A and B are shown apart, each in its own frame.
Chain A
Amino acid sequence: MSLDQALLESVNQSQIPMLRFYQWTEPTLSLGYFQKLADRNQHVASSDANCVRRSTGGGSILHHHELTYSIAIPVTSSHSGARLDLYQGMHAIISDALSDWSIKAVPHRDINHRTIDCRPTPLTTPPAATTLAKTNGVTSDQPPPGPQSSTTAGGISDEALLCFQRRTDEDLIVSGYKILGSAQRRAKNAVLQHGSLLLQASPFAPELPGVLNLGSRPLCEKELAQAISTSFSQRWQIDFQASKVSVDETTRAREIAATRFNSTSWLKRR
């Protein structure tokens, strides 16, 4: 997260867009920027997970078996707030990429507008779930999540602690479950958007299935990241070049980590 912030600052200066993918070495609950630390007690399953505070808003996210992306693009200072086109564009790209694995992910707004039944469908144990666990060297000690009988019973609410139990228009939904949520942070001349694509339910949030639980085919996160990059280039006519994080960006990320994401006062600021 400190590197996301450092890259936002870098794009704010360079005006060159950046796309990054990463995963988490430890299961971590990230609080939305304005959430209260004490509110994490509402979610018992994640109580033993590490906790950080993001610089972006929205609900808490349990980062474990997920693919995290971040993108930063230049914007003008005369435009305020969220860039809706970035949400829509990035989520359409990820939906495209998921279709390569026969996963149908649709924006929540489409479900709303069609007024179809958006209750989560009961889950069965997917054979693909073990594929990811093996890839990551992580073994789930809990069974895949059970069925949820209704949106209410599933805890879905605008006030829910967890981001994945909230719904906004651009969230991607598979079989009634949110599998992708994103948030933005503005700088004067750039905007950062990062998002979590749930791959598999975590023992720290077993109520939230990922695409491996909901799909029927094995999926490799590196191939998925490549498919997203390719889809991005095609849709937005941007030719990404692979590049390493610069020494300056790494140094800045360490500074940001020290003052924010690794700082107790940052975590406890609310």
Chain B
Amino acid sequence: MSRDQTKLLYAETHEWVDVAEEGGDKIATIGISAFAIEQLNDLVYMDLPEIGKELAVGDEFGEVESVKAVSPLYSPVSGEVVEVHSELPDDLEKINADPYDFGWIMKVKLNDGESLDRLMDHAVYEKQCAEAG
């Protein structure tokens, strides 16, 4: 089932967040938005975080190399990395066509729900992109 991008939360730095309840925990699935992927322009490499890594909001959790730039990826939430999309770095061209499903990067078990309060809904995020674009 395709993820509905209008139901996701977004960080200023263009990571999307999809929160679901799993076994009593809140699990955030995280990727980078179509807008960011277009700006990054042809991703060629990606570093994933290690499973078990504790992240706070704004921490660097990975890096991507696009045409002529290495850019850090910033965690939009606080919690522990519980899963990473290990096939993604070897198949980066697919992220361009499918950033919200195949393009998920990691899952984080949230250690508080407050970090979600700083995120934008789709309408606000679209406005930011329009202003930046």
Contacts and interface: CB of A to CB of B under 8 A. Distances in A.
A78 interface: yes
Contacts of A83: 69
Contacts of A79: 39, 132
A186 B65 CA distance: 10
A265 to B, nearest CB: 15
A168 B68 contact: yes
A82 to B, nearest CB: 4
B69 A185 contact: yes
Interface stretch (B70-78, B80-88, B95-103, B106-114): B70-78
Interface in B37-94: 39-41, 44-45, 58, 63, 65-72, 74
B67 A185 contact: no
Interface in B1-41: 12-14, 32, 35-36, 39-41
A82 B66 CA distance: 8
B65 A33 contact: yes
Contacts of B35: 80
Contacts, number: 78
Contacts of B69: 56-57, 81-83, 183-186, 191
B36 A33 contact: no
Contact of B40 (A55, A81, A185): A81
Contact of B68 (A57, A78, A188): A57
A34 B41 contact: no
Nearest to B64: A81
Given A56-B70, A186-B70, A80 B65 contact: no
A182 interface: yes
A36 to B, nearest CB: 11
Nearest to B131: A78
A57 B65 contact: yes
A168 B67 contact: yes
B128 interface: yes
B68 A183 contact: yes
A34 B71 CA distance: 12
A87 interface: yes
A80 B70 contact: no
Residue from A56, A57, A58 with most neighbouring chain B CB atoms (10 Å): A57
A184 B71 CA distance: 9
A89 to B, nearest CB: 14
B40 A80 contact: yes
A101 to B, nearest CB: 27
B45 A78 contact: no
B68 A80 contact: no
B70 A188 contact: no
A185 B131 CA distance: 23
A186 B70 CA distance: 6
B13 A77 contact: yes
A34 B45 contact: yes
B59 to A, nearest CB: 11
A182 B12 CA distance: 27
A34 B44 contact: yes
A76 B132 contact: yes
Q: Which 8 A-B pairs have the closest CB atoms?
A: A82-B69, A81-B40, A34-B45, A57-B65, A184-B69, A186-B71, A80-B39, A80-B36
Interface of B: 12-14, 32, 35-36, 39-41, 44-45, 58, 63, 65-72, 74, 128-129, 131-132
Given A56-B70, A82-B67, 11 more contacts: A33-B65, A57-B70, A77-B12, A78-B128, A81-B71, A87-B68, A168-B67, A168-B68, A184-B68, A184-B70, A188-B72
16 contacts: A34-B44, A34-B45, A56-B69, A57-B44, A77-B12, A78-B13, A78-B14, A78-B132, A79-B39, A80-B71, A81-B39, A87-B68, A170-B68, A183-B70, A186-B70, A191-B69
